Structure 1
């Protein structure tokens, strides 16, 4: 049975392309997905970390307490994620002259219940490009929230809360330099 997304709870949302197909071929693909994310997910969730990879993605979100009302209808959190994936699939399929599903269904979600898991998950998400041998350090990868976390530029990301979970910015950076053992996380995710 699929776990419903409950308001006020933290979740790791992740998925990949069906049959591990590439989701993001160009810089424009990444940008368009993030634009659609802002449209569909920002009204229902706060984002704490994210990473877009060629064939999969990770988000750490907290579902907002107050439901977003659109045209007198309450949008359910799971529906908002489905709307995001459907909108991106339509645009991607049109652009690449393809048809059919792009993402595995249902999208995966895991509830986050403690601070240690939250910290480990943030580091796991930001270190995903390193794990997949794309770069050596999180700061080198443009399609994750790591750069937003260490920047002072305006962002919708819950940067202050993330840094506080690591005590301060120096500890945040230090914890991301550690070559952590993410094997237990990977086993739980099956990505």
Structure 2
């Protein structure tokens, strides 16, 4: 993962379990996320679902350790011990998993071992990921309207005056304001609903 690059991050429960069983799990996940990743990435969107989650993040450019990565191959850069961002994500997942396992007296991996990280390469891809992440609860049938799902960053955009760890101004590089986002959300939602009916 490289500085000044945006990524769509996704991870899923290992097997058929849920990674969030109760409200406190969601809260703890966000707390640990802020602890381990708050200084590493800027977060533009997130959605936490019972058995998976999505994030849209940008790797910060002022990270200590990146200046020492020159000359490493892409394979070695991807290894958690060499890349400070990948290591931060690994530490975060481990922290949450250990607490979850202790709380529910379970053993073994909670998450799929290798989390998915897709680089965002253009404006349209950023827009699509931003909309998709917020519409995920609708896509999976948990709610009919995305604003009704509690565990997403959509509320940070709706309530601009409330403190938030979301970098709320960045979306303006891709949309013409919040009304434009709301319009595009409705268009995308209708497309998703029609696609599911095919």
Give yes or no for TM over 0.5. yes
The residue number in structure 2 matching 1:126 is 134
Matched, 1:48 2:57: no
Shift of 1:43: 1.0
Distance 1:7 1:131 in 2: 31
Give every structure 1 segment of 4 or more consecutive aligned residues whose post-TM-superposition deviation is greater than 3 Å: none
- Which structure is larger by alpha-carbon Rg, 1 or 2? 2
Measured against aligned partners, the alpha-carbon deviations of 1:60-85 in whole angstroms (never above 9, x if no partner) come to 0000111147xxx9971000000110
Q: TM-score, normalised by structure 1?
A: 0.87
Q: TM-score, normalised by structure 2?
A: 0.84
Q: Provide the aligned length of Structure 1 versus Structure 2.
A: 176
The residue number in structure 2 matching 1:151 is 159
Distance 1:92 1:156 in 2: 23
Distance 2:34 2:82 in 1: 18
Taking a change above 3 Å as real, the CA distance of residues 83 and 68 of structure 1, as seen in their structure-2 partners, is same
Give the RMSD, CA atoms, in angstroms: 1.8
SS in structure 2 of the partner of residue 59 of structure 1: strand
Matches within 5 A, 1:38-187: 38-68=34-64, 76-152=84-160, 153-178=162-187, 179=189, 181=191
The gaps in structure 2 that reach 5 residues or longer are 66-80, 193-198
